[in-house]
Structure 1
Amino acid sequence: MTTRKNPLVKPFVKWAGGKRQLLPEINQYLPKTIKRYFEPFVGGGAVFLNMQFPNTTINDFNGELTNAYAVVKDNVDELITILMQHQNSNSSEYYYQVRSWDRDGQLSQKTNIERAARFIYLNKTGFNGLFRVNSQGQINVPYGRYKNPAIVNEEVLRAVSVYLNKSNVKIYNGDYEDALKQCKPGDFVYLDPPYAPISDDKQSFVGYTLNGFGSNEQERLKTIFDDLSAKGVNVMLSNSSVPLIHELYKDYMDTTVIVKAKRNINSNGNGREKVDEVLIMNYKI
């Protein structure tokens, strides 16, 4: 499948575990034909925004994130106006005031556009671009103290809006399995779940939703991988190269490749080094 790509169509939020650096490998191992494209753990969207396929469905469990995609698609002008207001008011004090909306009841009174602008603003100005919530579902990322954070990236927001509309991208918020029920033979699914930890370090998982993704969830995902394979759906999965994943997907050893990715592997921001990850396919490569 060939599409004419707009280089301005790219992520408008920072996201832990983003796949931008793995795009060359992901592109290299795409199936030869793709009827429809599904990405049920979309996150920051580096993959689907790079591919720019028509007939695309995205999903994420994070409702603030999927609301932001929907608002970029349907209300980009109003979104940019509010983001500019956030940019003009940006300070540490203002950041914590806006962050507190999910603590003092204000968030439930805001429009979807206001919520999306808050989400993007906090993402661009919070420490390390993290999205992390506590056990009450409240964002708890501290202020990042950047000199000139790119709060309003108007060109990118408008380009993404055009693509989402032109390709009629479907946006879902819920369990990944529900987003995959409509898959048919010849469709292509890219799975990028929360990774299996490479160590016992608690920093291995970023708590960006309240639903944990432990070994039971990895096993459930493998079952869905097998079910999609049986239906004739082409699937590619990213994960960490650890014994749990290799054991789960041992039946796909011939179509598994190991790739190198630069990741934060501990709580120290300087702890970025290349680690092994896997791309597992259910089709010949």
Structure 2
Amino acid sequence: MTSIPHPIQYQGSKRNLASSILRFIPSKIGRLVEPFSGTAAISIAASSKCISQEFWINDLNKPLIELLELIVEKPNEIADAYTDIWNDQHSNSIGHYFRVREEFNRNNDPRLFLYLLARCVKGAVRYNSNGLFNQSPDKRRKGTQPEKMRKNIEGVSRLLQGKCKFTHLDYKDVLAEVQANDFVYMDPPYQGVCGDKDSRYFSGIDFDDFVLALEQLNRKKIAFVISYDGKRGNKIFGNELPKELGLKKIEIEVGRSSQATLLGREEVTVESLYLSSNLLKEPILTMEGYISRAPKQPTLPEPYGQFSTATR
């Protein structure tokens, strides 16, 4: 999905997996709800494919949600602000970054956040124990050029403007309000990676609470897909969700791990999708036929991944 605009380079974003994930969503749905939206990559992709035209974008990270709302509803304002901040860095770009970071930690201004995300190392959000953004600048680059940023912002705005509800609620509050015609996509922090709090995430989640929330979705017959656990080589990230939830687990091969390659190891990164049982009954998915054709062992990935049935 290289043609789909994305202003925010955000580590953990599903932008490169969006086309694979959308294969498991019916071609037409009601409102698409993202309780852990991050950069809303799935909503952006779903709008571009006309899968949905109504979205609830939620994340507990308030400045991130405020930034997304600016991008969607006030594209010129945020693009102008980014241009000004980006242009101010040229005399001393590293010092400028740290000054912007300090100011952001005082006021949580989403306009400053966009510059930090564009300039920080690997687009990786990091917070200290006090909840302050503490990621360092990438010293090899100065962030996305303003012209390219504006083009991406305008592209996202065209796809989502006037179609979204933006909130920064706890995910449980969002799930409590979803309706029968909603489709829920969830990408929570991996349990086992972050626990209840980790510098890589604004906030972690409790595994047992999450399982109970999924059980309630099942009772309400809400269709949902979850990106959850995964693995790289022999290393597993997070626990599998309980069999009692009746979910179907699908594995998507993301590609070779660049970090492992640098260390001389050939390791394939695999991410897991869990599909709700009522989704499997949708004839539009023809799920069993699709899965049965997939390789059972990791292979060199095609663009956006291969699929395989996981052993449960």
Work out the CA distance in 1 between the residues paired with 2:115 and 2:70. 14
Residue pairs, 1:1-285, within 5 angstroms: 9-31=4-26, 33-52=28-47, 53-90=52-89, 91-102=93-104, 105=106, 107=107, 115-152=109-146, 153-166=149-162, 168-197=163-192, 206-209=199-202, 211-213=203-205, 217-241=206-230, 245-246=239-240, 248-252=242-246, 255-262=248-255, 270=262, 273-282=267-276, 283-284=279-280, 285=287
State the 1:54 CA deviation. Answer: 0.9
Counterpart secondary structure, 1:57:
strand
Structure 2: distance between partners of 1:280 and 1:95: 39
CA distance in 1, matches of 2:258, 2:141: 26
TM-score in terms of structure 1 length: 0.81
Deviation at 1:123, TM superposition (A): 0.6
Deviation at 1:224, TM superposition (A): 1.2
What letter matches 2:66 in structure 1? N
Cα distance in 1 between the residues matched to 2:237 and 2:119: 37
Letter in 2 for 1:164: L
Of residues 137-146 and 119-128 in structure 1, the stretch that sits farther from structure 2 once superposed is 137-146
Distance 1:62 1:269 in 2: 33
| Residue identity in the other structure for 2:131 | G
Identity of aligned residues (%): 22
| Cα distance in structure 1, aligned partners of 2:143 and 2:64 | 19
Asked if the contact 2:33–2:55 (Cα under 8 Å) also holds between the matched residues in 1, the reply is yes
| Distance across 1 between alignment mates of 2:2 and 2:241 | 38
- TM-score, normalised to structure 2, is 0.74
Q: Which has the higher contact order (CA 8 A, sep 6+)?
A: 1
Aligned length: 262
- The separation in 2 between residues aligned to 1:134 and 1:228, in whole angstroms, is 33
Tell me by how many angstroms 1:95 deviates: 0.6
Q: Give the superposed CA RMSD.
A: 2.9
Q: Structure 2 vs 1, CA of residues 33 and 223 (structure 1 numbering), >3 Å: closer, same or farther?
A: farther
User: How far apart are residue 248 of structure 1 and its match?
Assistant: 1.8
Per the alignment, do residues 123 and 28 of structure 1 end up closer, same or farther by CA in structure 2, a change over 3 Å counting? same
Asked if the contact 1:130/1:141 (under 8 Å) is kept, the reply is yes
Query: Is the 8 Å Cα contact of residues 225 and 235 (structure 1) preserved in structure 2?
Result: no
